Amino acid sequence: MSELLTAPKKFFSKDILFPLYTAAIAFLAYASVYAYRKPFTVATFDGVKYWNISYQTLLIISQVIGYMFSKFYGIKFISELKRFGRWKTALILMSISWGALFLFALVPAPYGMIFLFINGFPLGFLWGIVFSYVEGRRTTDFIGSVLAISFIFAGGFTRSVAKWLLIDMHITEKWMPFVAGLIFALPLALFIFLLERIPKPTEADIEERAERLPMSKDDRKKFLKLFTVGIFAATFTYTLLSIMRDIRDNYMSNIWIELGYGKDYSIFTKTETRTSVVILIMIGLLVLIRKNIRAFRFIHVIIIMGFLLAGISSWMYVQHQIEGGLWMQLVSLGLYMGYIPFQCIYFERLIATFKVKGNVGFLLYIADSFGYLGSVLVMLGKEFFDVQVKWSDVYSHGVVIVSIIGISTTILSFFYFNHKYKLLKSAL
């Protein structure tokens, strides 16, 4: 705690504008990316089915499979990403994704599935590209937390835009995703341009957080061999969080309808904005903990607290002790308390603690690939085994189970990395 009170004044005065500016640009860039990913989930395509599966579900599964494939390929692609020319790569990927939405609007169902798959694949690389601009800095905790909450806020905001296009602007369900992308096209190009102009990490950043370098195949093997059990525990925990987060994210509109909020398109933005603010304050303050191992330990505590909040609130909802709106708000906060640290600071502080050659993209794409694989298997299982239940029921019961398992794997990770750190210190 004394660290928090004695942090150098220079850190708060001279260097405060840069992280605020960088965080804002990264936030707005990735929030704009979401306009190409999530608005289509608001289109329910009522009554349209193929192979006894709703067209909406087929589209969601198609996009997530594309996204999943990009995560597996991204383990190599993002870990080897060079710093030069990243903005070109980002713009090419976004153009492919947006073009796929245009073709989705033109082709008849069910062939739109093909273009949702194409839409999802390039989008999967964008997080790694954007985060590569901000990792390895003394202020990465703050910048990364702002960046990470972008998809909480953007998930709600872009859905609200989608609902507005459908309800007030009378855009058809097939054209709405493309039009939503059109609204965000120029802002996204501007923010990517501004990202490219962000200065490289300073010498002080490198000394405190370790230099982030592209990784070869041998580098990746060495890293995994060194931290096998810890990476497995973290990946398993993240997979659980990803499954529940993805169910909520893809079927949020359905759940709110089941809870009686179907005509309130502002509900997405209101609930997600509240969650974003709380998470930003909680995670962003970790930047004040300068000692990496202490911050890394505290991240585990936050994740466990998140599981407890999500699990207990879901159990209370199942027992009819709280109403659906409050439950959705609490479970959102709890799961994102677990999910967001992995997106922005868990792997950042892991590399900084052990000062090993690597980058956040490599570790995050390992976790993400299995996370999305889990999400795909859950969605496919529900449809092909013809499990007819409400998404609100699936989600509430699933969160209780996931929370119990997640607490156990997070505790395993905590003790494993602490043991590794003690071995490291004793060897010095």
Q: Residue 107 has what pLDDT?
A: 92
69: which 2 tokens? 């494939």
What are the contacts of 317-320 at 24+ separation with CB within 8 A? 317/396, 318/396, 318/397, 318/400
State pTM to two decimals. Answer: 0.80
| Cα 133 to Cα 199: distance, rounded to the nearest angstrom | 9
Compute how many other C-beta atoms are within 10 angstroms of the C-beta atom of residue 30: 25
What value, to the nearest 5°, has the Cα angle with vertex 99 and ends 269 and 50? 75
Residue 4 lies in a domain: no
CB 351 within 8 A of CB 360: yes
Residue 353 lies in a domain: yes
Residue whose pair of structure tokens reads 């009170």 in the numeric block: 5
Mean pLDDT per block of 10 residues along the chain (428 residues) reads 45 67 92 86 78 82 90 91 85 94 91 92 92 89 84 77 83 87 91 91 88 88 92 93 79 72 62 76 81 93 95 91 84 88 88 89 91 82 66 82 95 95 80
110: which 2 tokens? 């069910």
In this structure, what CATH number is given to the domain that contains residue 380?
1.20.1250.20
| Cα 97 to Cα 121: distance, rounded to the nearest angstrom | 8
CB 175 within 8 A of CB 165: no
Residue 191 lies in a domain: yes
CB 345 within 8 A of CB 140: yes
CB 362 within 8 A of CB 215: yes
* AA letter at 118: I
Compute how many other C-beta atoms are within 10 angstroms of the C-beta atom of residue 232: 17
Total number of domains in the chain: 1
Residue 8 lies in a domain: no
Peptide bond into 199 cis (omega under 30): no
232: which 2 tokens? 């497995």
CB 398 within 8 A of CB 247: yes
CB 156 within 8 A of CB 269: yes
Residue 301 lies in a domain: yes
Cα 329 to Cα 104, 161, 210, 319, 323: the distances in Å are: 33, 20, 37, 17, 10
Strands 53-54, 49-50: pairing is antiparallel
- List the helix and strand counts (H, then E) for the chain: 20, 2
Is residue 136 helix, strand or coil? coil
Q: Residue 16 has what pLDDT?
A: 77
260: which 2 tokens? 């009686």
Residue 343 lies in a domain: yes
Domain span at residue 161 reads 14-427
| Cα 349 to Cα 298: distance, rounded to the nearest angstrom | 11
Residue 6 lies in a domain: no
Q: Residue 2 has what pLDDT?
A: 45
